[in-house]
A and B are shown apart, each in its own frame.
Chain A
Amino acid sequence: MIKVRGLAKYYGRFTALRALDLDIGAGECVALFGRNGAGKTTLLRILAGLSRPSSGSFQIKFPGSASGKGAASPRGSRGRIGYLSHNTSLYPDLTALENLRFFAGLMDAPADEESLARRMEAVGLAGREREPVRNFSRGMQQRLAIARAFLHDPELLLLDEPFTGLDRLGFDVLGNYIRRARGAGKTCLVALHDLDLGYALADRLVVIEKGVAALDAPKASLTPAGFEERFRKIMEGGHA
């Protein structure tokens, strides 16, 4: 579904990605690991169409597209991608309902009060619809951001450290959402720092180091301890 070839991104003299190759099949859930600045966020932003690569190419091919080929440009993919990061992308001076209604309208998703109230309930924010987002705690804002990111029921989930700032309830809400999305055959690429969580959620594990994929292995081929060992070696500068 996603084919990345020789992808590179430079910010001035800083290399965020360097000739990255990656293939992700439809319905796969891939966990991305790596130290801060390894290029995880850059990769997700490029796939989301928020950033342009300096060189290399990528293709996102949605299954069941009318053309049969299904390759979509970043512009054409936007309505089918759900992007969630630790930044909530919510307007603090609007109420929770106003935020959801605004984004639902732009995403061509149902924007009636009943369906938006259901979304709020699903993330444990029922009854808080008319409160300004500014009054919400960090965890509540992140839960509302989950509702916002998935308003349009996306086929591809790009999640950049999505568990940051979540309380237990928010953690469960997001974890369940990802599991349900996997069950529904949706593709998921999630960048994480928590090795155990990533191992539990994904069926493929990718470690990005210095802008390239230093490890790309199916979960079934590694035990949790084995994965941790290889991850540590990569971080220490050794071979995986």
Chain B
Amino acid sequence: MRNAAKIWAIFRKDLLVELRTKSAVNSMLFFGVVTLLVLNFAFRSLEGSLRPALPGVLWAAFSFAGALGLNRMFAAEKENSCLQGLLMTPADRGVLYLGKMLAGSVFMLAAEAVISAFGMIFFNVTVWREIPWLALTFLVGTLGFMAVGTLLAAVAVNTKLREVLLPLLLFPVILPVLVNAVEATGIILDGGDYGGLKLPLSVMAAFTLVFGVVSCLLFEYVLDD
């Protein structure tokens, strides 16, 4: 089987398991929507439009939900020592990384679609025309998040404190993606100059590429004990 087929096999397996258990996406959705709701109530006491707060609120909800999803995804690999079975195959570790990273990205994007719909309702924002730009920003931001998150979740999964350790490791590293994602989402929701998206999207894409390649190479070493 070629590497592309192996990446697809891992991606498809994660998707099948998730479709049957719905454990990652359900917990991501629940956590993300509750975060939105709490922040929405908190900001209501402020005067003026809530619209400027929405990009930050959305990405806070996405990133908390994403960290939760990553933990769930790797916890499933620990059940019955499935990860050990994966590691005993001759598949390149980069292949395992890419399969899991793509599956995690799809789960997170699915959760983001629902969370952002709730966000628009809670914050009373209409965005029909901006949807393609928002989708692009969410896609690039999510790939950046998962490029690092998949590697760090693999580091955390072999520790006793994995649920606590992952956010502690992940959020400081992912900060450049989050800051630029918030900025890009803000530009889109302001309906202003889309030319301004070039810089944040480029930074996120470069981050994804660099950390994706580094993580792909390091994945072999973080999975051993």
Contact = CB atoms under 8 A, between A and B. Distances in A.
A90 B225 CA distance: 20
Interface string B209-225: 00000000000100011
Given A79-B90, A83-B88, A85-B81, A91 B1 contact: no
B90 A87 contact: no
Nearest to B77: A91
A153 B89 CA distance: 12
Interface in A72-124: 75, 78-79, 81, 83, 85, 87-94, 98, 102-103, 105-108, 111
Nearest to B223: A50
A107 B90 contact: yes
B21 A89 contact: no
Main SS class of interface, B: helix
B92 to A, nearest CB: 9
Given A50-B225, A98-B16, A102-B9, A91 B82 contact: yes
Contacts of B6: 105-106
A107 B5 CA distance: 12
B225 A48 contact: no
Which of A49, A81, A85, A102 counts the most chain B CB atoms within 10 A? A102
Contacts of B80: 87-92, 141
B21 A93 contact: yes
Contacts of B17: 91, 93-94
Contacts of B129: none
Measured as residues with beta carbon below 8 angstroms from the partner, the interface class of chain B is 20 to 34
A182 interface: no
A52 interface: yes
Interface residues of A, number: 32
A91 B85 CA distance: 10
A87 B10 CA distance: 20
Contacts of A48: 88
A112 B207 CA distance: 40
A103 B5 contact: no
Interface in B141-171: none
Interface of B: 1, 5-6, 9-10, 13, 16-17, 20-21, 76, 79-82, 84-91, 220, 224-225
Interface of A: 45, 48-52, 75, 78-79, 81, 83, 85, 87-94, 98, 102-103, 105-108, 111, 132, 141, 148-149
- Give the top 8 A-B pairs by smallest Cβ distance, nearest first: A89-B85, A79-B90, A87-B81, A106-B89, A78-B90, A105-B9, A93-B20, A106-B91
